[in-house]
Structure 1
Amino acid sequence: MIFKILCSIYAATVSPALVKHLREETGAGMMDCKKALLETGGDIVKAQEFLRKKGLASADKKASRVTAEGRIGSYIHDSRIGVLVEVNCETDFVSRGDIFKELVDDLAMQVAASSQVQYLVPEDVPEEIVNKEREIEMQKEDLLSKPEQIRSKIVEGRIRKRLEELALLEQPYIKNDKLVVKDWVKQTIATIGENIKVKRFVRFNLGEGLEKKSQDFAAEVAAQTAAKPVSTVRKEQPASKEAKETDQKPAVAVSAALVKQLREETGAGMMDCKKALSETGGDLEKAQEYLRMKGLSTADKKSSRLAAEGRIGSYIHDSRIGVLIEVNCETDFVGRSEKFKELVDDLAMQVVACPQVQFVSIEDIPESTVSKEKELEMQREDLASKPENIREKIVEGRVSKRLGELALLEQPYIKDDSVLIKDLVKQTVAAIGENIKVRRFVRFTLGETVEDTKTGTEA
């Protein structure tokens, strides 16, 4: 009866536009939004609070239900900040819905926007960090004159605030700073009717920890354009000499279409492709090998140059497998090129396709892992009757093969299994003229434990 009276009093002041606005901001149902506005006299902020409280109560009842489904999402900002996130729900049906998808996308964006965030909740912060923060606060000059019990209370308050700054779920929501992320998640729980758990995230900043070059973008462009005439002169002189040598050899018919195909597959220059095909009698596979060998030689000369620019990329397969990867080059100019972007995208896809891969290179594999593999192989029954020296050689071969299976750079390229990833990278180095380093990657598979996460170390 009271509610009906309120409806008659405030009906004129609650417009459909206001109801729609509240619904868009909170995700609550139309009737719930209308009731919230009526209860709060049309005050949009108070109505949001009203719905949040209602949402929190509904969400808490669902918090114990198992979340075994969900989706993995990513967000890349300007190729320089990258985020991978896993959010779980109860059913595949909900995980494929627009509301849940938007939640995952926005959470990834929230992490990208929150540079200080390192953990999901304050409880995840390691005890040693908490103790260190407490020690620092207790020694601050503004507290030295305070009584011990007062000082302890102030310190605890400051530490709590600091821990909340490190926790994703305690951040003000980027699309509505009147909400913190944990309450926004609970509102979504109330809306979709299933429990939701933000399980984990990782954030890459391009080049963090690497020495940066002071050269600016304009200088990079100038350096690129200035270098071109020199390289042209160097290439033209041997080209004319090679042309004379070619005249003395039997002519091999090399079509423009074949040259174009080889150029697209290798990224080498037109004249280099033509020469490779001439040298190999028009055999495309042999010509690729010819150029690869030439490319490897060129790439090796550049491997000592600092790679502190580049890009961060991601690849998501069916929302159930996700990869975040950082690949470095020398200049921002090259980092933004299509050739480099294609390499990064292909490397991310490669990691998705190789579930056994855990490291960038063999050199990144910890000595403890290598020792364990050797120990296991030495105890195999099929080697028990072998002489010691023979057994050691067999074990070394097996361990080498096993380590190669764990390293990204040792994998056959998914688009051409005659090429290893490390050779693909070197081909690209030769094509673009800059050093390239695959620095790190992380791979999430929906539902795996955090300990199972495949994380690539720096190369």
Structure 2
Amino acid sequence: MANFTAADVKKLRELTGAGMMDCKKALDEAEGNVEKAVEILRIKGQKGVAKREGRDASNGAVVSLLEGGNSGVLVELNCETDFVAKGDRFVEVANAIAAHVAKAAPADVDAALASEIEPGKTVQQFVDEANASLGEKIVFRRFAQFAGDGYVAVYMHRTSPDLPPQVGVLVELDKENAEVAKDVAQHIAAFAPKFLSREDIPAEVLESERRVAEATAREEGKPEAALPKIIEGRVTGFVKESAVLEQAFAKDNKKTVQKVLDEAGVTLKRFARFRVGA
């Protein structure tokens, strides 16, 4: 029997939406490796696997701060309920953390939590105070900070009018173009790419997709001679879904995002997209 726990089964169910017994069997086959178990369930055709990967029930808000056109910060702060998320105090805490990150430029969340947001008070202590005053768990989950000689823009999206923004996108172009920056940021918000370009996709991720594509094609009974073309076709499809420059542009699906940028004479240097809980 593979070495896995009830928590592993729960995590796999949240990631894939598969039944408990299917998850147990997949974990057994994967020798307790959750990521491999996800692959196994995908190959076997469990409904909704791809859509449910990474799902998290956390509430909260994404806030942003832009300064001078060439620097910006995106922060995700989580809480337990939407009731707290839409409260003024919670948003104030999130904005204070964003302002601190913009000033302190910490290396990562751990460094941010250890830094002083007020004299004698760390960000961790500041968050702990919010926990106490708001009556539920508050978590400073992540941040992105862009600063340099490029042009930085942000797009914030509300999924509900009574909640703070649940999706935030930070983009950096090599030169100023407010219209294109906004269009591309909105596209990223809607289509959720994970990578900038094909070259940015780790080799192990592409190899994983090839394994899934091959195993799935064999499960479907595809002819052996056709497998290489089918596999590469499915990997190419994955790249077009995952890399923003390869995606069909939201406002004109006859063009890729790369084509839109080329026509405008600008380069997308990097981006960050946060969705609360995802």
| TM-score normalised by the chain length of structure 1 | 0.43
Q: Does structure 2 conserve the Cα–Cα contact (< 8 Å) formed by 1:351 and 1:408?
A: yes
Whole-angstrom distance in 2 between the partners of 1:181 and 1:398: 45
Deviation string 1:259-294 (CA, Å, 9 cap, x unpaired) is: xxxxxxxxxxxxxxxxxxxxxxxxxxxxxxxxxxxx
Whole-angstrom distance in 2 between the partners of 1:88 and 1:183: 16
The residue number in structure 2 matching 1:321 is 167
Whole-angstrom distance in 2 between the partners of 1:407 and 1:326: 16
Q: Does structure 2 conserve the Cα–Cα contact (< 8 Å) formed by 1:81 and 1:205?
A: yes
Shift of 1:425: 0.6
Q: Does structure 2 conserve the Cα–Cα contact (< 8 Å) formed by 1:69 and 1:91?
A: yes
Unpaired segments ≥5 residues, structure 2 = 1-56, 159-164
Deviation string 1:112-137 (CA, Å, 9 cap, x unpaired) is: 1002x12333xxxxxxxxxxxxxxxx
Which amino acid is the alignment partner of residue 144 of structure 2?
V
The aligned length equals 215
Q: Does structure 2 conserve the Cα–Cα contact (< 8 Å) formed by 1:361 and 1:408?
A: yes
The residue number in structure 1 matching 2:84 is 94
The residue number in structure 2 matching 1:249 is none
The equivalences for 1:167-206 within 5 A come to: 167-173=111-117, 176-177=118-119, 179-206=121-148
Q: Does structure 2 conserve the Cα–Cα contact (< 8 Å) formed by 1:383 and 1:391?
A: no
Q: Residue 439 in 1 paired to residue 272 in 2? A: no
- Aligned-residue sequence identity (percent) comes to 32
Whole-angstrom distance in 1 between the partners of 2:235 and 2:113: 44
| TM-score normalised by the chain length of structure 2 | 0.69
The equivalences for 1:224-303 within 5 A come to: none
The residue number in structure 2 matching 1:346 is 183
Unpaired segments ≥5 residues, structure 1 = 1-66, 122-166, 207-308, 330-334, 430-435, 449-459
| Structure 2 residue matching 1:195: 3-state secondary structure | coil
Shift of 1:352: 0.9
The residue number in structure 1 matching 2:241 is 405
Shift of 1:383: 6.6
* Higher share in helix: 1
Q: Is the alpha carbon distance of 1:171 and 1:381 closer, same or farther for their aligned partners in structure 2, counting shifts above 3 Å?
A: closer
Deviation string 1:285-335 (CA, Å, 9 cap, x unpaired) is: xxxxxxxxxxxxxxxxxxxxxxxx421222222222222222213xxxxx2
The residue number in structure 1 matching 2:65 is 75
The residue number in structure 2 matching 1:161 is none
Q: Is the alpha carbon distance of 1:76 and 1:381 closer, same or farther for their aligned partners in structure 2, counting shifts above 3 Å?
A: same
Whole-angstrom distance in 1 between the partners of 2:88 and 2:190: 27
Which amino acid is the alignment partner of residue 115 of structure 2?
Q
Q: CA RMSD in A?
A: 2.3
The residue number in structure 2 matching 1:381 is 218
Which amino acid is the alignment partner of residue 77 of structure 2?
V
The residue number in structure 2 matching 1:107 is 97
| Structure 1 residue matching 2:109: 3-state secondary structure | coil
> With CA pairs under 8 Å and 6+ residues apart, which has the higher RCO, 1 or 2?
2
Q: Is the alpha carbon distance of 1:191 and 1:384 closer, same or farther for their aligned partners in structure 2, counting shifts above 3 Å?
A: closer
Shift of 1:178: 5.2
Q: Does structure 2 conserve the Cα–Cα contact (< 8 Å) formed by 1:314 and 1:324?
A: yes
Deviation string 1:384-411 (CA, Å, 9 cap, x unpaired) is: 45252x4322332232222111110122
Bigger CA radius of gyration: 1
Q: Is the alpha carbon distance of 1:391 and 1:183 closer, same or farther for their aligned partners in structure 2, counting shifts above 3 Å?
A: closer
Q: Is the alpha carbon distance of 1:421 and 1:120 closer, same or farther for their aligned partners in structure 2, counting shifts above 3 Å?
A: closer
Whole-angstrom distance in 2 between the partners of 1:415 and 1:184: 42
Which amino acid is the alignment partner of residue 108 of structure 1?
A
* Higher share in strand: 2
The residue number in structure 2 matching 1:119 is 108
| Structure 2 residue matching 1:72: 3-state secondary structure | strand
The equivalences for 1:410-425 within 5 A come to: 410-425=246-261
Q: Is the alpha carbon distance of 1:188 and 1:423 closer, same or farther for their aligned partners in structure 2, counting shifts above 3 Å?
A: same
Q: Does structure 2 conserve the Cα–Cα contact (< 8 Å) formed by 1:408 and 1:421?
A: yes
The residue number in structure 1 matching 2:15 is none
Shift of 1:92: 0.8
| Structure 2 residue matching 1:426: 3-state secondary structure | helix
Whole-angstrom distance in 2 between the partners of 1:370 and 1:181: 38
Q: Does structure 2 conserve the Cα–Cα contact (< 8 Å) formed by 1:73 and 1:86?
A: yes
